[in-house]
Structure formats: C-alpha cells, structure tokens
Amino acid sequence: MDDKDAELTTDDTVDAAPAEIAAEQQLGLSDEFIREIVLLLEEDAASGIREKCTALSAPDAAELLTKVGPLRHRLVDILEDDLAPESFSYLSYEILNDLFSNMSGPHIAAIVGELESDDAIHLIDELDETRRSEIMRHLSRKVRAVVEEGLNFPEESAGRLMQREFVAIPQFWTVGKTSDYLRAASESLPDKFYDIFIVDPMHKYIGSVTLSDVLCTQRNLKMESIVDENRVKVPVTMDQEQVAQIFRRKDLLSAPVVDDVGRLIGVITVDDIVDVIDAEAEEDLLSMGGVTDSDIYSSTFATARSRSTWLLVNLVTAFIAVSVISLFEASIEKIVALAVLMPIVASMGGNAGTQTLTVAVRALATKELSAANAWRVIGKETLVGILNGVFFALLLGAVVWWWFSSPLLGAVIATALVINLLVAGFFGAFVPITLTRLNIDPAPAAGIFLTMMTDVIGFFAFLGLATVFLL
C-alpha cells in the first residue's frame, strides 16, 4: 500500500487517472485488503501481516482492527510496536474495550502516555469504570494529572476537546523576535500549530496572529500590530456544538481556550471540530431514526436492549392509536372497507408530518429557524399541508369511489385526509419548535409524538366521519 502511495506522489509523470488513485489510496482500506489480512490472520502468517501493515496510518490501522472482527486480538499481538498508539484513539467504544480486555494495565498505560493530551483524555474516558481506575494507577504522575483535570470538565465541553500544547508569546515582541524564537525553540513546540497566541504577563489571552500574517509581515513590526483582537476566545466549559458554530461563522483554524479569569489554558484545532461536526450530525440522524448511538459494533444483546426502549415507547403510542379504532368497532363490523382503508389516511399523515418535522428539526439545529420566524414557518407548513391535503384528497377520493363504487366513501376519506395533512403540517412544525423553546432536543421525542398524533387524528377523522355519514 504505502510504497505505491509514495511512488505515486513523488513521481512527476502520473500514470493512473487521478480518480483511480484517489479511490485506491486515500479513502481508507479496500475490502480486498481487509479480506487478505483476515486470511493471513487465520493462517497465523505473522511476517506477511507485519509486512503489509507496518506502514498503515493510524486511522487505517483503526479501520483494520475494527473490520477484522474477533481476529483483532491476534492482529494486535502480531503488530505489537508497529501499531502506532494513535490508532487506538480512532476506535469506537466497543472495539476499544474489547481489545483492552485482553491487554495488561501497564501496556495500556504506556499507550495512553504516548498520546496527545486530548486523545489521552478521550481514550481514558471511553474505558469502563473499573478498568479506568486500574489504568490511571499505571500512568506517570504528569499524564495522570492532565487526564484527571481533563475528565473534570463536563462531557462535550471545550475542556475535553482542547490540547494543552500551544504557542504563546508576550505582546511586546516583534515579528522578527517571534520568528527567531520559533526557529530556536522548535524542539519544544507542538508538531503542528496554526495560530500564535499573544498573552499578557499574567498569561491572560490578548489576541491571535495567523501564521500567514507572521510570514508576510516585516520583521521590525510588533506582533501587536497584526493581532486579531476580535478573535473569539472559547470558555473552557462551552458546549462543543457552540464551539463548532464559532469555527463555522469565523472560518477559524484554531481557537484559544480560556479559564474563568481569561487565562489561556489550551487550544482547539479545526480537525477536532470536524470530528465534532461529524459526531453531532450522526447523533441527529440516528436520533431521528430512534437510535441513541451507532451500535453497529455493539454486541447483539446490547443492541437489542438499547433499541428496545424506543420500541416500548412506540408500543404504548400504538395502543393509544388503536384504542381510537376500538371506539368504532361497530362501524367497522358494518362496513369492513373502513378497516381496509384506514391505514392509508394514517400513513399519509405520518409521512407528511415527518417531512415537516425533518425540515424543522434541521433548521432549528442550524438556527435558520428561531423565535423570529417561528410563526411564519408554522403558518407556511400548515398551508403546505392543506395544499397537498386537497391534491391527494381528490386523487384518493376518486380511487376509493372507483374501487368501492361509493362516492360517499370517497368523500369521507378525502375529507379525513385533508384534516390529517393539515394537522401533520401544523404539528410537524409546532412540536419541534415548542420542544426547542423548552430546551428539549426535538430530534428523538418529536417523531414518535407526531406519528401518534397523525395516527389518532387519521383514524378518528376517517372512522368518525364514516360513522356519521355512512351509517
């Protein structure tokens, strides 16, 4: 893999078409490669595996450990020190705890000690309680102090995201002195940094200078003269979603993190923010589907258990909906076509409501929808419901008229559909807006509540109207 990569990028004449290079080299491992390693693992061909895997990047190694399944223990044993410690910080909760269950405390502590501060904290945080305290005992005093401090910050806060390694200089330095300092001190600086922070003698944050500004400014000018004083500073307790919002708005590469008296204590970099954005997007998507976490690598039993909560809620709301049907048993007994048709009204309402809900939940998350335009949106969604209600009512009414040769049954189902789509539009917007105003995350709760509503209204309107007009 890696030889080929180096060859392709140092070669002046590109042989393969660029798109192919990309598909093959840059986007994780191919399924063929993983199958090959699985075969080698099954044959216990240690040297073959080491040869193929030594040069894997950390994310690639993590992907391999994940996808080879239970063979991953053998893979770790074979690769040993060829496996970069960073590989472990890319693993999901389940895989990490599975792997660590077979490793000694000192071994794990040695891995943690090699990581950057934010990765070390994240990794320790992923461990099971009992394992965590065991590993902590084996950490060096310095690393343990950093990890303990980090774990004290609230989950998903800036304190958990930040690195403690950054470049800070006093405000009176010139560009030239700063450049000389960077060259002289390069050994003790972080591997990569994206901004230089300026602090006062009390280590309070004053402002940031981008590296391109340092490079493009005359050496005799003061750093103060090119400082960006409007640069946002992030309080250490700020929620990570808000931090991401700041990076989006300001197109930042890194942001200073300050404690409650304004002292600079860390830096958050944009690559961590990309991870946050991915994680938040995943959370939103999964919770709309009634799942709390990506459980793709959880055990069967754990998955079934975590999903059952949601199914239980759905069972209760389903009983509420069908209790409406039971009110009309007598009508159904007389006209059995009602039983056949009633799911259509409920289903159309559920789908129309979900459409509105999805748009509203997303717009609330991106702040496109807020108190300033809430009523305008609710009004529009209600109108959309009425418009589509009337359109599909005509269509459905005609089909039902033709199918059951009953114009009155067609009229009843058409009216019920208009009512249900109106309700779906109104509540599809109203429910998430109201939940958000009450500081409740609308993504998981709103859907089930809305579907219950469109079921209840759908059944009640259709069966009720039928009872009044057809019996």
Q: Which of residues 45-84 bind a second copy (CB under 8 A)?
A: 57, 59-60, 63, 66-67, 69
Q: Does 97 participate in binding a second copy (rule CB under 8 A)?
A: no
Q: Does 247 participate in binding a second copy (rule CB under 8 A)?
A: yes
Q: Does 3 participate in binding a second copy (rule CB under 8 A)?
A: no
Nearest to 425, CA basis, from 345, 356, 360, 376: 356
CB of 187 to a second copy, least distance (A): 9
Question: Which of 1, 151, 211, 265 is close enough to bind a second copy by CB under 8 A?
Answer: 211
300 or 405, CB closer to a second copy? 300
Q: Does 367 participate in binding a second copy (rule CB under 8 A)?
A: yes
Binding segment toward a second copy, per CB under 8 A, in 40-48, 111-119, 146-154, 271-279: 271-279
3 or 81, CB closer to a second copy? 3
Nearest to 341, CA basis, from 222, 186, 450, 461: 461
Amino acid at 230: N
Q: Does 270 participate in binding a second copy (rule CB under 8 A)?
A: yes
CB of 102 to a second copy, least distance (A): 20
Question: Which of 87, 89, 240, 388 is close enough to bind a second copy by CB under 8 A?
Answer: 388
80 or 229, CB closer to a second copy? 229
In angstroms, how far apart are the furthest CA atoms of the chain?
Answer: 95
Q: Does 393 participate in binding a second copy (rule CB under 8 A)?
A: no
List % helix, strand, coil for the chain (3-state, nearest 5): 70, 5, 20
Q: Does 24 participate in binding a second copy (rule CB under 8 A)?
A: no
Q: Does 346 participate in binding a second copy (rule CB under 8 A)?
A: yes
Nearest to 162, CA basis, from 114, 117, 127: 117
Q: Does 39 participate in binding a second copy (rule CB under 8 A)?
A: no
Contact 266, 257 (CB under 8 A): yes
Question: What are 254's strand-pairing partners?
Answer: 269
Binding segment toward a second copy, per CB under 8 A, in 97-105, 145-153, 356-364, 407-415: 356-364
Question: Which of 308, 375, 402, 408 is close enough to bind a second copy by CB under 8 A?
Answer: 308
Binding segment toward a second copy, per CB under 8 A, in 77-85, 119-127, 375-383, 405-413: 375-383
348 or 453, CB closer to a second copy? 348
Question: What are 269's strand-pairing partners?
Answer: 254
How far is residue 470's CA from residue 337's CA, in Å, rounded to a whole number? 12
**Sheet harboring 195-199: ordered strands across?**
168-170, 195-199, 205-210
Question: Which of 65, 359, 412, 413 is close enough to bind a second copy by CB under 8 A?
Answer: 359
* Binding characters for a second copy, 394-433, by CB under 8 A (x = yes): -xx--x----------------------------------
Question: Which of 174, 294, 406, 434 is close enough to bind a second copy by CB under 8 A?
Answer: 294
Question: Which of 54, 128, 319, 408 is close enough to bind a second copy by CB under 8 A?
Answer: 319
Q: Are strands 264-269 and 195-199 parallel, antiparallel or unpaired?
A: unpaired
136 or 205, CB closer to a second copy? 205
How far is residue 297's CA from residue 231's CA, in Å, rounded to a whole number? 41
How far is residue 7's CA from residue 17's CA, in Å, rounded to a whole number? 15
How far is residue 237's CA from residue 157's CA, in Å, rounded to a whole number? 5
CB of 194 to a second copy, least distance (A): 7
Q: Does 296 participate in binding a second copy (rule CB under 8 A)?
A: yes
CB of 106 to a second copy, least distance (A): 29
- Which DSSP category does 154 fall into? P
**Sheet harboring 234-235: ordered strands across?**
234-235, 254-258, 264-269
Question: Which of 114, 140, 155, 216 is close enough to bind a second copy by CB under 8 A?
Answer: 216
136 or 454, CB closer to a second copy? 454
Nearest to 276, CA basis, from 300, 311, 252, 310: 252
Question: What are 174's strand-pairing partners?
Answer: 222
Rounded to the nearest 10°, the torsion over CA 315, 321, 322, 323 is 110
Question: Which of 21, 110, 265, 470 is close enough to bind a second copy by CB under 8 A?
Answer: 21
Alpha-carbon radius of gyration of the chain:
30
Q: Does 130 participate in binding a second copy (rule CB under 8 A)?
A: no
CB of 206 to a second copy, least distance (A): 8
Render 164-210 in DSSP notation, one character per residue. Answer: S---EEETT-BHHHHHHHHHHTGGGS-S--SEEEEE-TT-BEEEEEE
Q: Does 438 participate in binding a second copy (rule CB under 8 A)?
A: no
Q: Does 212 participate in binding a second copy (rule CB under 8 A)?
A: yes
Block residue for tokens 């500073």? 233
Contact 94, 298 (CB under 8 A): yes
